[in-house]
Amino acid sequence: MILDSVENFLKYAHKNQNSILAYDFIMNDRKNPMPPGRYALDGDRCFATVQTYDTGFSSEKDYEAHRVYADVQYIAEGEEQMFWAPSETLENTVPYSSEKDVAFFTGNDENSRSFAVRAGEFAVFYPQDAHKPGCCVDGKPAAVRKIVIKIMLD
């Protein structure tokens, strides 16, 4: 898992073309915000989804984990609490779907790490990283505009 400011994004790209496409999409969105929807950056190998929603309570959400894609979550506006835990420490409640590249888990938030991700920051989750995004900060639901970019792992 990575948590950092978007200004440092390219330090993690390691000359990976799809990571550079992801960075370019985020930087272009900062100048010209894109409407909600899905945007192909490199077909199914790399795509972005622009989302707007209100954060919710962590007790009402499940952890998720992916196998095929790294999950880049960039907060464009607002802030949200995210939780992280190694997937093997959680209870698998919905088996992995290869069609959707996701499995769902439950677990005790006391055994996980939580952190606020603010506008201009991003988190990257890899297959071993179960994560619960979209949670409200300080128990107060709020509006968020987020870009989730899926980058296929080779």
Structural domains for the chain? 2-152 (2.60.120.370)
pLDDT in the model for residue 21? 96
pLDDT at 108: 79
Band of pLDDT at residue 117, cut at 50, 70 and 90 = very high
Determine the pLDDT at residue 13.
80
- The amino acid at residue 4 is D
The amino acid that residue 154 corresponds to is D
b/e code 72-98 from CB counts within 10 Å (16+ = b) = bbbbbebbbbbbbbebeebebeeeeee
User: pLDDT at residue 33 above 90?
Assistant: yes
When the pLDDT of each residue in the chain is averaged and rounded to a whole number, the result is 95
Which pTM does this prediction carry? 0.94
